[in-house]
Amino acid sequence: MNIGEQTRFKIMLLAHREELLELEQSALQAAQPVQSDEVTTGRPDAIQGQQMAQETQRRRTRDLARIDAALQRIANGSYGRCVQCAEEIDQRRLEINPAATHCAQCV
C-alpha cells in the first residue's frame, strides 16, 4: 500500500474517531445511573434506556480501540497487512472497515 492510500485511510480513521468521541460526549448523560424514584414510579423504561446506552458505550469504546490500533499500524508501517498471515488486506475490505485486521481468508 502506498503512502497516499495510507494517508487517505488515516484521514478516514481520524474522522471516524472524532465522530465517535463526539457521540460519546453527547451520550454521557444518557448513561447516568437511574434514580431510584424512577424505578418506583413506573419508569422501568429508564433502566432499559440506561442499559442500551451502556451497551452502545461499550461498542463505541471497542471501536475507538480498533481505530487507535489501526492508527498505530499506520505509524509502524504494518497497516493493510493481515495480522495473522501478513498478506495484504484487499483495499475494498479496508474501504468498508479501515480498522480491519484480517484478510478475507483469515477471518
Q: Which of 13-17, 35-39, 88-92 comes out lowest in average pLDDT?
A: 35-39
Query: Quick check: 69 and 99 in contact, CB under 8 A?
Result: yes
DSSP letter assigned to residue 81: B
Cβ-based neighbours of 85, under 8 Å, separated by 6 or more: 103, 105, 106
The stretch 85-98 carries a mean pLDDT of 96
pLDDT digit string, tens, across residues 36-81: 555 555 566 777 777 888 888 899 999 999 999 999 999 999 999 9
Which grid cell is 62? 471497542
The neighbour count for residue 21, using CB atoms within 10 Å, is 11
Cell output for 34: 437511574
Question: Residue ranges per domain, the chain?
Answer: 3-79
pLDDT, one tens digit per residue, over 27-45 is: 775 555 656 555 555 566 7
